[in-house]
Amino acid sequence: MSDISVKISDNDKFIINKNININNNADKPHNGKPITIMRVSPNGKYLVTYSKDDESIVGWNIANVEEGQLKSDYSRTHKGHHEIEEICVSDDKKLAYIHDIYLEIIDINNNQIIELNAKISHLKYHYCTFNLKGEFIFCNDVKNRHRIYHKIIWVYSTQTKCNKWICKGIYKIPKDFELISISKYDKLYLFSNNNIYEWNILTEKSVRVFGGDEIYKREEFYKHDFRWRIKKDIRISSNVKFIYLRIKNKIIIYSIELKIPIVSSLDISNGIQSYNNLLNIPELYTLLLPDELIHDDVLSSNRIWNSIMEYYWKECLNHLEKHYQLQKKFQPDSSTIPQFIFDIKTKYTFGILDGYVWKIKLEERISKVNENNNKLNNEIIDKGLDSEDSSSDDEVDKIIDSDMRTSSYVENKEIYKYLNIYLFNPYMSTINASFQEFSEINELSTKNTKQVLIQNSTKWVIKSTGGELKLLIFKKNIINKRNKWKLICMRIDKFNVQEYDLYEFHKRFLHGNKLLSENDILILTKIGLFIYHFNENNNFISLNYFYYMNLNIYNKYELMKNLQYHYKKSFSKSTLPLPNYNSFKLSDKWVLYVKDNRESLLKYGVELLSFAIKEHRLELMDDIYRKCIIHFKEDLRNNKIFLSIITSTIPLLNEYYPEYILRYSLETTMVIDSLSYTIKYQDNNLHLYSFHYPQIINLTKSILWTKYIILYHKLYIKHYALFIILNVIQCLLLLLILPISPIFLVTFYISSKYHFINDFNIRLYKNNVVDIALLTDNIFGTIFNEYDIFASFYFYINDNFLKYMSKSTTPTITFMIPYIKFVNYPQNYNWFWEFIRPQSSLFVKIISENIYKTWDGEALINFKWNTYGKYYYVMIWMSFIALLGCFNVTATIPQQYISKDVQKQLLITSIILGFIHLSFEIRQIIYNPIKWICNFWNIFDIIAYVLPIFTSIYWIQTDVRNIQLLSFSCLFLDIKFLLFFRVFESFGIYFAIIISVAKQIVYFLVVLLIIIISFAHAFYILLSPTEIDFSFKENDPNNPWNIVPTYKEVLNNGAINSNSYIIQQPDDNTNMFTDYRTSLFAMYLFLTGDSSALSNWSYINNPSLVILIVLFSLLIVVYLMNLFIGLLNMAIAKDNNRVSYLIQKAEILAEIELLYLLPNQRRWKAWFPETIYYYANFDKIHKEVKKLINDGQWDANEFLEIREMKQDLLNKLNIRNDETDQQLLKEIREILLNNKKNK
């Protein structure tokens, strides 16, 4: 929950006026004993308190109380042997509390106990809460079959059914993670390895909120009280824009929009103004007020903090006395800290006063007190001066030194103002209203070039001249009791407008303006919307936002129409639109501000880098690139999101500057998002195995299994005889299914892998009864005492098989894939259009070989393949095999062996399956027609689907078995089946070579084809007959009748008859040059070595024919064909690598994502996380790094910070790189020399 609990110690007393009678403690809630824990319901409608001393729980109705004392309407005595550790209540008065291994739930309305329908008892509980929807969430330890405890999150619907709540979700937390808390917003906060994560139960999206090695030392992780220390030291609050963390005495504020900590390591123990500024943020109240678990809170021993809280509490008491007839005059004892609880949802504070709970608007009290900070500061300093404490003088000196200086105060004030600048869009409602005001301008003056706005002690003066915008800030200065305005600062912005626009600017550049706050102003001009911010700390005006709009309009109605258009298109949403291309083009100062401001760069960096790429501004590109890398290195754990600026522009970089992609890949390969590389021992087969943090497992599909196991063990407790009979029956059934045990085991394996079953150990004990499990323990071990016979048999076989197949471990190092947000899809989508033309991710948009030249690209593909790719690929393959089988059986089996009905059914099935596959091809064509045409396999695929469909329909309609269609259909289907093997590396490399080589030599083949066509044309003219009607004319040597073999009669005397005796009748192939088409085929035969088409002519009498034959054989057969073979060898050598195969596999995965995954599946964070990590084998890392060094790619990084990181890896690998050492030493010397000169 997002509220805070309080503990009232025995010392928390108040000085009471002696004239007022004190009520008897017996009449008070908890019998007047101190309240230990206080909890508010999710929507602030009900409150419960618990007293450890009295062992009682009291309920308080707060829904209809505006402010003042609450009345209790429920009381219950806790009779357990252990004190209550956690307590929570719902808005409809359902109470739940934890004490040791027990969880009790009571309906306060009728005082009935509520049961859970899938409850595993007698296990340690850690946390419980209700969410905003009224669902009950808790965490407890559950043993698995190996007796290892795991933390399990349970989600229950509070809709009572038979006085039970129904389980609707189960989630398993990884073993290396500790639970910090569960938010009422359905979010888990987890701690692991000095990192704090937020995991959303609804979306299953995880975010690393903060990481730092300074939180805990490594040896502290293994102390017995480590879990308690986490709850003591780490406290979390959140709203829609920020996550607020308090880690010990540090405050961290994480921006949900930017996904980085915008305020980190802010010390809360430094000075009065720090506390005041902190208390100006209501969400921080829950972090600053003490918790019942924290007995040594750093603030509880801080005298400044105690004084501040005492002062605030005194103001609250005065307010209560004045407005709500507080019966006694209380004064807080200066030796104690006043106790509050703050509810973020309702913005109310609940305080303990004389045993009762009071509802107070603390936020209003604090804001009023802060209006007069000097009074508070002076009172605290006076207390310090009057104190007898020997350390008070030093503390007061610290107060005066750190807080009473104006610059320090303003600096602190500016920090907290910064949390509400336009980067996070708190003024959208004001901006939206401003559009309406600007569109209602009655008159468009052509002379208004100066405007003045005043708020409190600040005056803004806005002047516009041709192509310039001038802003001046004045502050009130009281001289001789007269207010004088003093100029504080000035800013002039020049815009890159065309010369012909300057005259128009003189007429009217300003359309309107509005003060958003004293230091923030919105200005609407002819070229768009500007938002400026005045920084009081350094007296500087900054341009925080600029959105270009073409408003060079002088007609009132046209302007109003144009403003309404821009409002509906861009400004009607809850956030400001991102700056467009012209915003950067018109203002160099805006470009400079975005580039140099850390948060603005993160928010607008993608647009700025895209602008720099399109405008070919190489220096700006390089500056942005360098700043992203430097910001990442400044805080590796928390700033990796800066790398997403580079990865988001990879499609543009691939189009304009592809070398940047290779540069980024090489410079960020083998990087991590922590301060040092960690070596862990993993299985040998985990090289380049990818994963993401935290790996919380959704076990919701195993709810039915969990209920079954609980019911099975309840049968063991309550009906033991029936339990034995059931076990005997299961044993007999198990013996019967032994012949088909592989199917049984595979079924259980699939169910376990996809979490339809779990291995929760729900062992219940029964005394004084002979346990049948004791007999099986001696044979199979204790596992048969924990599950039913079928599950026990599977787990026994599985565990022993894994034990037999277990591989040796090897050292591995975990790396981060630097392509942040590379696989994510846009969150806003339309289901209909996603099926027609789906939105794509960066992974789909750009498949570049420069990405897959390093391990990062391969690990990225491995993650996608193992997560969903291989399963969908098998499904597609199986459905194609069904199509192939149905059609080939029909086409191949002789007619006498297959009936007409079966044949027709197989053909219809082929048509249906063919259309299903064809539909995906059509969707692919619609998605990107040009890309589809350019891919040879796509054309082959569509032929493989269309031919069988057409042949099957033709066969059914005409009842004619067209063998030509059947033969080609079977050919394409068979080859298509072979293409499915291209996803496997052994086959895929050759398929990749076939296509890539063909692409490289395609123009050579065109040249070769033109030459062949030319020779075919020449032979056709030379050897074609002169007449179409063939005759026996002797004067046409090309007449087929003249070139066919003739047979003459041999007389008895050996003489030969000169007249032909027998003539072989010519056919279509006698003279292949009678038709130009066959002439081309004759040339192809000649190219392959078959010259029979030219052997019918006499070479002695046809010198022209001989010349053509010699020319063709020398030019084509000898020279060009050998050149072709040489080119093939070069192309094969170039593409005979894994990169081509990985690109091919990436294309397959991209096709699966776009065409086969549902739109919501493409948004699953478990499948498409923002950051992915992978393991790498230590020995293979050593070889890869050596290879990169030898290829000159390891030292390609120009950033000192990244080289320092990689030097740590070289040290762990025991690799010496002298060139890197020399370069590093040179840069260190240059830095030291520059520092010395600057001094």
User: Model confidence at 391, in pLDDT bands (50, 70, 90)?
Assistant: very low
Q: What is the mean pLDDT of residues 669-682?
A: 86
Q: Is the pLDDT of residue 7 over 60?
A: no
Q: What is the mean pLDDT of residues 20-35?
A: 66
The SS3 of residue 787 is coil
Q: Is the pLDDT of residue 876 over 90?
A: yes
Q: What is the mean pLDDT of residues 738-765?
A: 83
pLDDT (tens digit per residue) in 229-251: 787 788 888 877 888 888 887 88
Question: Which pLDDT score is estimated for 1103?
Answer: 87
Question: Which pLDDT score is estimated for 779?
Answer: 45
Q: Is the pLDDT of residue 1060 over 80?
A: no
Whether residue 524 contacts residue 511, with contact meaning beta carbons closer than 8 Å, is answered with: yes
User: Model confidence at 5, in pLDDT bands (50, 70, 90)?
Assistant: very low
Rounded (10°) CA dihedral 705, 711, 713, 717: 180
pLDDT (tens digit per residue) in 599-655: 889 889 999 999 999 999 999 999 999 999 988 988 888 889 999 999 999 999 999
Q: Is the pLDDT of residue 368 over 70?
A: no
For β-strands 125-130 and 136-143, DSSP reports them as antiparallel
The larger pLDDT score, comparing residue 922 to residue 1097, is at 922
User: Model confidence at 466, in pLDDT bands (50, 70, 90)?
Assistant: low
Q: What is the mean pLDDT of residues 505-511?
A: 67
Q: Is the pLDDT of residue 437 over 50?
A: yes
Residues in the chain: 1239
The CATH number of the domain covering residues in 14-400: 2.130.10
Candidate from 9-18, 110-119, 626-635, 811-820 with smallest mean pLDDT: 9-18
User: Model confidence at 1149, in pLDDT bands (50, 70, 90)?
Assistant: very high
The larger pLDDT score, comparing residue 470 to residue 82, is at 470
Strand stretches in 344-457, DSSP E? 348-353, 356-360, 450-455
Distance CA 670, CA 1202 (A): 10
Question: Which pLDDT score is estimated for 89?
Answer: 94
Q: What is the mean pLDDT of residues 1032-1061?
A: 71
User: Model confidence at 773, in pLDDT bands (50, 70, 90)?
Assistant: very low
Q: Which residues contact 931 (CB under 8 A, 6 or more apart)?
A: none
Question: Which pLDDT score is estimated for 216?
Answer: 74
Question: Which pLDDT score is estimated for 387?
Answer: 47
Whether residue 569 contacts residue 578, with contact meaning beta carbons closer than 8 Å, is answered with: no
Residue 195, both tokens: 């990192």
Question: Which pLDDT score is estimated for 276?
Answer: 57
User: Model confidence at 1181, in pLDDT bands (50, 70, 90)?
Assistant: very high
Q: What is the mean pLDDT of residues 696-704?
A: 92
Question: Which pLDDT score is estimated for 26?
Answer: 55
* Beta strands across the sheet bearing 1173-1177: 679-683, 809-816, 1173-1177, 690-691
Question: Which pLDDT score is estimated for 501?
Answer: 52
User: Model confidence at 445, in pLDDT bands (50, 70, 90)?
Assistant: low
Whether residue 533 contacts residue 421, with contact meaning beta carbons closer than 8 Å, is answered with: yes
Q: What is the mean pLDDT of residues 501-511?
A: 62
Question: Which pLDDT score is estimated for 6?
Answer: 38
Amino acid sitting at position 282: P
pTM, entire model: 0.81
Greatest mean pLDDT range, 361-375, 415-429, 750-764: 750-764
Q: Is the pLDDT of residue 256 over 60?
A: yes
Q: Is the pLDDT of residue 1165 over 50?
A: yes
Q: Is the pLDDT of residue 282 over 90?
A: no
Domains of the chain: which residue ranges?
14-400, 703-809, 849-977, 984-1024+1071-1136, 1031-1063
What backbone phi and psi angles, to 5 degrees, belong to 1219? -65, -40
Q: What is the mean pLDDT of residues 437-446?
A: 60
pLDDT (tens digit per residue) in 330-354: 555 544 444 566 666 667 778 787 7
Q: Is the pLDDT of residue 425 over 60?
A: no
Question: Which pLDDT score is estimated for 435?
Answer: 77
User: Model confidence at 925, in pLDDT bands (50, 70, 90)?
Assistant: very high
Question: Which pLDDT score is estimated for 1213?
Answer: 85
Instruction: Name the percent of the chain lying above pLDDT 70.
Output: 77
Cα end-to-end distance, the chain, whole Å: 52
Please give the mean pLDDT across all residues of the chain. 80
Q: Is the pLDDT of residue 308 over 70?
A: no
User: Model confidence at 219, in pLDDT bands (50, 70, 90)?
Assistant: low
Q: What is the mean pLDDT of residues 441-460?
A: 72
Candidate from 363-372, 413-422, 438-447 with smallest mean pLDDT: 413-422
Strand partners, 464: 469
Q: Is the pLDDT of residue 388 over 60?
A: no
Q: Is the pLDDT of residue 168 over 50?
A: yes
Q: Is the pLDDT of residue 1176 over 90?
A: yes
Q: Which residues contact 163 (CB under 8 A, 6 or more apart)?
A: 112, 114, 115
pLDDT (tens digit per residue) in 946-993: 999 999 999 999 988 899 999 999 999 999 999 999 999 888 888 888
∠ Cα 958 963 967 (to 5°): 130
